[in-house]
Amino acid sequence: MHRSGTSATTGVLQLLGVELGERLTAGHKGINDLGYFEHGDILDLHDAILGHLDSSWDSVLPLPEQWWCRPELAGYRKRLDEILKRDFGNCGFWAVKDPRMCRMMPLWLKTLDDCDDEIACLLILRAPSEVAASLQRRDSMSLEKANHLWLEHNLLAEKWTRGRKRAFMIYDDLLGDPVPTLQRIGEALDITWPRSPQDVAVDIDGFLRSDLRHHRASDNRPASFDGLSAISLAEATFALFASAGIEGPDPDAMAIAHQRFADRLAAFDPAVVDDLRHSAAERARLRAFAADIYRSWSWKVVKPFRILEKQLQRGRQD
């Protein structure tokens, strides 16, 4: 899920010698200062697929049933395969991170199953109250919506990785005790890190700066599967994950969480669903338009003038 420590985790994997590709997106000051560690081309591809499905990263509506089987999406799968072969075809140990993958996993699994690489899934979980507070600060998102997104992303990630080699990590464990946590993950996934966590412990401690964590969960959080409140359901679901350990919860234990979330979706008014889907489609189109401008040659050319304009504006304000 977004804002769950996935950037910190992937940055640490890079310190361990895991290849992430060269097209990584830059960070934002005060949000992800050290970077997102997301492959820019894959991020764009995910957004394009979501836009094609009249959705966006922050839509609360589920994607259409069997969306990955649609013939018109074959081009996106081909593009994904081309990116992976181009950037990781000669890598011994590589990783890709993007919270959108929680929703994109069916497409990814169809693509990865056709290659010879061995797949391992690492799922990072953070307390939903911390995630919601971060999204509220960054995107002015309501706590209820943020918790709803937390539920959907983590439940889908848990569902689609069943039967796969996988490990679950609570973000607090990485921050509090990174070297043993990374060693346990390696053992659970039956992999050997290119660099030992112990050998790069100093670099890891320097990278996982405590001042970069802006939100902490309170001790008194609701945790109940009664009712359809996203906040309560998310906390109850997180409790299942947190108590299960690195191998994750048993599917039978997760059944109630999946069912209660399905009940929540079924309770949405059809008129509200239509409005939400239209809104998500419009946001997707606007983001695609903004991304095209941001990556355009003309935008890069005038960047120095935009910087100069901001400095002049500060000078007038001072």
Per-residue pLDDT tens digits for 142-165: 999 999 999 999 999 999 999 999
Q: Would you state the pLDDT for residue 289? A: 77
Report which of residues 293 and 265 the model is more confident about: 265
Share of the chain above pLDDT 70, in %: 86
Any idea what the Cα angle at residue 83 is, between residues 79 and 88, rounded to 5°? Answer: 150
Q: Would you state the pLDDT for residue 277? A: 84
Copy the structure tokens of residue 159.
């569902």
Q: Which amino acid is it at 144?
A: E
Helix (H) or strand (E) holding 168, with range, is strand 166-170
What are the extents of the domains in the chain?
6-268
For the segment 172-177, the average pLDDT, to the nearest whole number, is 95
Q: Are 131 and 86 in contact (CB under 8 A)?
A: no
Question: Which phi and psi angles does 24 have, rounded to 5°?
Answer: -85, 140
CA 79 to each of CA 56, 74, 250, 276, 318: distance values in angstroms, whole numbers, following the listed order:
19, 9, 35, 29, 49
Torsion of CA 164, 254, 277, 130, to 10 degrees: -100
Q: For residue 120, what pLDDT band results from cuts at 50, 70 and 90?
A: very high
CB contact set of 299 (below 8 Å; sequence gap of 6+): 293
For the segment 128-152, the average pLDDT, to the nearest whole number, is 96
pTM of the model: 0.87
Q: Is the pLDDT of residue 282 over 80?
A: yes
Q: Would you state the pLDDT for residue 272? A: 87
Q: Is the pLDDT of residue 3 over 70?
A: yes
E-state strands within 42-130: 121-125
* Residue that has been written with the tokens 């079924």 in this structure: 266
For the segment 257-277, the average pLDDT, to the nearest whole number, is 92
Half-sphere exposure of 135 (CA within 13 A, CB side): 24
> What's the pLDDT tens digit per position in 71-119?
999 999 999 999 999 999 999 899 999 999 999 999 999 999 888 889 9
Q: Would you state the pLDDT for residue 246? A: 96
Torsion of CA 110, 111, 114, 116, to 10 degrees: -120
Q: Would you state the pLDDT for residue 298? A: 62
Helix (H) or strand (E) holding 31, with range, is none
